[in-house]
Structures are given as structure tokens and as C-alpha cells.
Amino acid sequence: MKRSIKNLTTALAAGAGVALALAACSSGPTADDPVTLEFWGWVPGLEEAVAQWNEENPEIQVDFFRMTGDDGDTIPASIDAGTAPDIVQMSVHSIPGHVVNNRLIDIAEHAEDWGDRFTESTWASVSFDGGIYAIPQDSGPSGMMYRQDIFDEHGIEVPTTWEEYLEAARTLKEADPDLHIAQFSPNETGHWLQTVWQNSGTWNGIEDDAWTVNVADQQSQDVAELWQTLLDEDLFLTVEMWTPEFWAEVNDGRIATINYAAWFPVLLEESAESTSGNWRVAPTPNFEGQDSAGDTGGSVNVVPTGTEDVEHAVAFIEWLNTSEDGLDHLISNGGIFPAAVDGLEHPALLTEREFFGGQVINEVFADAAVKVPATWVDGPTYDLIQDRLKDQFARVANGDQTFSEALDTVHDQAVADLRDMGLSVAE
């Protein structure tokens, strides 16, 4: 899908100009006169990946800095000051905000034909108006983690549709009022985002020369209707996620399913050890007539504005994210769920997990990764929309309003936020 927006044309022109000019100036580094690229990232094991690259590419040396804490918060200012690293790992959701502010180089000159190396949805997330502003690294396709022992005890079949999921929730509730099919956590929007995405929705879009706000579109209203039913019939357990109270409910067996991203199982293993062997993973239930999966997004590698050697910076992140050796480092040592399609069949990804009864759970997530609709468009106010949804969902949890009413409020706020940034908004 080609995404066009007039508001980004300044950034597009600036980025492309820098890339072309610098490519023309390149005289070619040598082992005796190498270029050195500075790379900031946080995936475990990147030190080993960089060491291999440096050994095999003496003319292009990479100097790695491990990001911790709030290091990422310093990136925008360093780009604006011309002191940024040559390559940076960042959340895919932050790309539009940086493009609007001329902080990323369009690398389409080097990468425009690489789309088939990545899942369709991850490639769509880095592509705007024919430009490519990042290389996808990892993603978070959804799957349904469920308590097989609880399902077996109550004679419940694994639901494949959201309608079946509701029926399973009602059966559980009738059998044991303390049992809930899932939790509702107003402080966590990832479950909501991935379900809207699964339903071919998005929070933003681009129409010609303006942003659209899609927070309250039908795709989101479908999710609102589903979640409102779960809440009204007391099928949800309302508890803030990531808190000791949440993990206590999980360990006590009061939550029968957790629909979430491919990176969540390892956290479940670490925080709910007492339930080991009882969990399995199945595809996320579908909306009627669909065969899709959700996603929470992932991280990408970008080349910030000001990078002098774009060609070799792109060469490194191509190797890291698409080569057999690079993917081996990212998956085996880094533990990521890859955005590259070759990575979905990597042996290190497809291992049996004792916590899940010996199931090769990433087979489910790998199948989901290629079923995520390429509909999601991050906007420059992604973080603001997240915060506003959390505020409004807290009011839903208190019974002050419905999910549908919350969406209408956030829609109006999101439109105002974009206009406050001086951006055009299509009504």
C-alpha cells in the first residue's frame, strides 16, 4: 500500500537529498582506512553480532552502544543537534513522529526491493509515500495462551472465533464464579491495539495530503462491542497489568486465557512458574469469517538524519536483520521474534517449551505473523492516543462510560492533538 502525505514531503526531500549526496561522495573504505559506524540498540547479544560483522568487514567497523534506561529519550535531541549515532534501534510506533520532524533518512534507494524479505505488515509499517524509513527487526504477532487444565476440567473446546470465546467465558463463569476467561487492564493498551489490528483496523491513516483519525472506526467499534459484553457479563477480571496483583491472579488460576504477543510467553514463564505445564498456545480467536491475527508492533533499525555513510549503515542493518548469521544472533542470543520471513523457520525459534507442555508454541506465532493485516498506520501522536485510551478505559472500568463512548472521546482528542502539531487532518 502506497502511503502519501503532503505534510511529510519536506522530510522526504531532505532525507533523500542527504542520502544521494553522501552516496556520490563515497570513495570506498578499505581495511587500512575503514569507516566506523556508531550503532545504538538494546537486543541481548548484539555485542557478539557486531563482533562477527567487524571481523568479516574490516573496512566497515561498527561501534556498538547498549541502550538502557532512558537512553532512547536522548535520540531526538541528538539528531537535531547532529550528534546522533549512525544507526539506532527504536520502536516502530515512533517512526512517523520522527519523519514529520525530519529526523530519519529515506533509505528506499538501497532497500526499496526488500519488501518480500519481511512479513507484509512489518514492511508496511516502515513504508511511506514510496520511502523506506527503517528496517524491521522484530514483531509481536498475537496468540492465545490458555490453561489447558482448566479447559479440560470444564469440558471447554479451544475457541476459534470470538463468539465461541464468549460462550467459553460464560461456561467458565457458570462453573466457577471465581474463574474469568481473561483480564481487562485499563493501564495496558496492547491487547486492544492488537485486536483492532486483527480486525483490519488502525488508529491513523493517510489520505492524500492529510492524516486520518480512525480510533472510533467500525473496526474498533467491533472490538468495543466484544469487550463491553465481556465486561457487562462479568466475564473479564479487571486488574492492572504488570502489577503483583495481576501475577497473583495468574498464579492462582483465576485467569484462563491471555491473548497477547509472541514476546509475552517468556514473561509468563518467569512470573507464573507455579503454573508450568498447564498452559498451551492456540491461534487468537477470529472475528466471524476472518482468518487473521493481531500484532502489537516491534522494533526497527533506522538511519538518523546526519548520518554521513548511509550506504554502509544500511549494509550493516541489512546483514543484521536478513542474513542467516544476523538472524541467528538476533533469535538465538537476542530472543527476538523476527520480522524477517526467513527467521520464522529458524531452528532456535521452533523449540519445544516445557512450560507449555512441550509444545512448539512459536509455530502458532509464526503462522500468525503472516496473517497480520497490512492495515495499521502509526501516526505522529501514537503515544498520546495510548495515554488517552488508558485514561478513558479507566472510566470504563469504573462504570462511568462504555468502550464506544471512550472511543468517541479519544477520537476528538486525537484530531485536536494532530492539529495542535500543525498537521492536516481529514474529517
The type of residue at 212 is: T
* Domain that includes residue 190, residue range: 142-294+380-421
Average pLDDT rounded to a whole number, residues 284-296: 96
Whether residue 149 sits in one domain with residue 264:
yes
pLDDT digits (tens, 9 = 90+) for 11-52: 333 433 333 333 444 468 888 888 999 999 999 999 999 999
Cα–Cα dist 315/267, whole Å: 33
pLDDT at 128: 84
Asked if 309 and 38 count as a contact pair (C-beta separation under 8 A), the reply is no
**17 in a domain, yes or no?**
no
Inside any domain, residue 309: yes
Q: Alpha carbon of 347 to those of 20, 129, 324, 333, 417: distances in Å?
A: 39, 36, 11, 13, 45
Instruction: Copy the grid coordinates of residue 99.
Output: 519523519
d(CA 271, CA 242): 10
Q: Is the pLDDT confidence value at 106 over 80? A: yes
Helix, strand, or coil here: 24? Answer: helix
Q: Based on the domain organization, do 193 and 278 belong to the same domain?
A: yes
The mean-pLDDT minimum among 18-22, 63-67, 112-116, 258-262 falls in 18-22
Whole-angstrom Cα distance, residue 380 to residue 93? 8
Tell me: do 58 and 112 sit in the same domain: yes
Find all residues with CB under 8 Å of 4, minimum gap 6, and list them: 128, 129, 206, 208, 209
User: pLDDT digits over 174-191, tens only?
Assistant: 999 999 999 999 999 999
Q: How far apart are CA 407 and CA 33, in angstroms?
A: 57
Q: The domain spanning residue 283 has which CATH number?
A: 3.40.190.10
Q: How many domains does the chain have?
A: 2
Q: Is residue 266 part of a domain?
A: yes
3-state helix, strand, coil in the chain (%, to 5): 45, 15, 35
In degrees rounded to 5, what are phi and psi of residue 131?
Answer: -95, 155
Long-range contacts of 167-171 (CB under 8 A, 24+ apart): 169/230, 169/233, 169/235, 170/233, 170/235
Same domain, 136 and 171: no
β-strand partners of 41:
66
The answer to whether residues 153 and 259 belong to one domain is yes
> Do both 169 and 213 map to the same domain?
yes
Predicted confidence at residue 28, as pLDDT, reads 80
| pLDDT on residue 69 | 86
Q: Which residues neighbour 61 within 8 Å (Cβ) at sequence distance 6 or greater?
A: 34, 35, 36, 37, 54
Residue 385: CB partners within 8 Å, gap ≥ 6?
Answer: 203, 215, 379, 410, 414, 417
Q: Average pLDDT, stretch 198-225?
A: 95
Which of 327, 349, 371 is the C-terminal boundary of a domain? 349
Across the strands, what pairs with 238?
A: 184
Residue bearing cell 505534510? 7
19 domain residue, yes or no: no
For residues 53 and 134, state if they share a domain: yes
Tell whether the torsion through CA atoms of 26, 30, 34 and 37 is positive or negative. Answer: positive
Within 13 Å of residue 55, how many CA atoms lie on the same side as its CB? 6
Beta bridge partners of 87: 39
Q: Are residues 259 and 408 in the same domain?
A: yes
DSSP 8-state symbol, 384 = H
Domain C-terminal end among 305, 332, 349? 349
Beta bridge partners of 300: 90, 136
In a domain, 327, yes or no: yes
- Examine residue 16 and state whether it is found in any structural domain, yes or no: no
Q: Do 193 and 327 fall into the same domain?
A: no
Query: Are 424 and 6 spatial neighbours (Cβ–Cβ below 8 Å)?
Result: yes
Mean pLDDT across the chain = 92
- 196: pLDDT strictly greater than 50: yes
**Using 50, 70 and 90 to split pLDDT, how confident is the model at 384?**
very high
Which residue, among 68, 21, 390, has the nearest Cα to 240 in the 3D structure?
A: 390
3-class state of residue 203 by DSSP: coil
315 and 271 together in one domain: no
Higher pLDDT, 10 or 235: 235
Q: Which residue has the cell 462491542?
A: 225
- 230 and 157 in one domain? yes
pTM across the whole model: 0.91
Element holding 184 (H helix, E strand): strand 182-184
Report the half-sphere exposure of 39 (CA within 13 A, side-chain side).
Answer: 30
Whether 341 shows a pLDDT value over 60: the answer reads: yes
Sign of dihedral through CA atoms 157, 159, 163, 169? positive
What SS3 state is found at 19? Answer: helix
Average pLDDT over residues 263-285: 97
What would the grid cell of residue 209 be?
A: 495530503
Determine, yes or no, domain membership for 25.
no
Give the pLDDT of residue 29.
87
Average pLDDT over residues 309-316: 97
User: How crowded is residue 219: how many other Cβ atoms within 10 Å of its Cβ?
Assistant: 19
Please report whether residue 154 resides in a domain. yes
* Section 192-197 average pLDDT: 98
209 with 309, same domain?
no
Closest CA to 302 of 91, 61, 52, 82: 91
Give the phi and the psi of residue 350 in degrees, each rounded to 5: -100, 65
End-of-domain residue from the set 307, 332, 349 = 349
